[in-house]
Structures are given as structure tokens and as C-alpha cells.
């Protein structure tokens, strides 16, 4: 089970890198109603929420007490936020027609933070038998 959760973490990191490396013109649909919903921010929240969740689950399934601590969860949230910031810089300088958006970084951080209460519920219902 631990190897599967590690594959999930690595898969999340790679999926985010690949999706955020796609040129921006692959997604542009001028003046559709969906653009008004800021669907891009929801996608960022989902990607980074899922990334944080994958780390939380992976750490919970392990034997290291520190990785199950609040401090480890805080470090995970910081890492996810920094990864989001790094991806914005990467997009700005290396991905055609993509830019640097503070709103995307905020959405990344919010998504990661929202994963924490979701993980708490998940742990109580499904992961308590693994501890």
C-alpha cells in the first residue's frame, strides 16, 4: 500500500507539471460563459488540493510518527504552495502564451489548505485501520 501511495504522490507532481506546461492557447475559448466562472482557479485548487491529499495519505500510511504530525502537514502545505509559486515562474519564462498570476498561486494554496479538513474526514472513516 505504501508504494501505491508513493506512486500517487509522484503522479500528482508529474500531472501538475505536465498540465501547467501546456501552452495557454490550448485552453483559450474567447467569451464563453464558463470563462466568467474562473474555472482556471477551480482547476488550480483541485490540482493542488489533490497533491496535498496525496502527501497526507502517503505519510499516514507510513510508520514514521513525525510524518503524521501537524508539523509535517504544515511543511506539506508550504511545499505545495511553493511548488505552485515555482510553477507560475516556470510558466512565465518557459511556457508559450502562459503567464505569471498571483491569483493562481492563491488558488494553489487554498486548494492545498482545503485538503486538510478533507483528509481528516478521510482518515477517520477509512485510514484508521492502517495506523
Confidence category of residue 29, pLDDT binned at 50, 70, 90: low
pLDDT greater than 70 at residue 28: no
Mean per-residue pLDDT, 40-65? 95
Residues 6+ apart with CB under 8 A from 122: 53, 57
Confidence category of residue 96, pLDDT binned at 50, 70, 90: confident
Confidence category of residue 126, pLDDT binned at 50, 70, 90: confident
Computed over every residue of the chain, the mean pLDDT equals 89
- The whole-number pLDDT of residue 108 equals 97
Q: Tell the residue number behind the cell numbers 485538503, with chain if given.
A: 115
- Where are the chain's structural domains? 2-9+41-130
The Cβ-side half-sphere exposure at 79, using a 13 Å CA radius, reads 14
Amino acid at each position: 500500500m505504501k508504494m501505491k501511495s508513493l506512486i500517487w504522490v509522484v503522479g500528482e507532481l508529474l500531472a501538475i507539471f505536465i498540465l501547467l506546461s501546456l501552452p495557454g492557447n490550448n485552453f483559450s475559448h474567447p467569451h464563453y460563459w464558463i470563462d466568467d466562472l474562473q474555472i482556471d482557479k477551480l482547476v488550480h485548487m483541485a490540482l493542488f488540493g489533490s497533491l496535498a491529499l496525496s502527501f497526507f495519505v502517503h505519510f499516514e500510511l507510513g510508520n514514521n510518527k513525525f510524518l503524521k504530525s501537524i508539523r509535517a502537514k504544515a511543511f506539506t502545505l508550504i511545499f505545495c504552495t511553493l511548488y505552485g509559486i515555482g510553477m507560475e515562474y516556470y510558466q512565465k519564462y518557459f511556457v508559450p502564451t502562459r503567464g505569471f498570476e498571483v491569483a493562481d498561486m492563491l488558488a494553489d494554496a487554498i486548494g492545498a489548505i482545503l485538503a486538510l479538513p478533507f483528509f481528516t474526514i478521510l482518515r477517520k472513516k477509512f485510514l484508521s485501520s492502517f495506523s
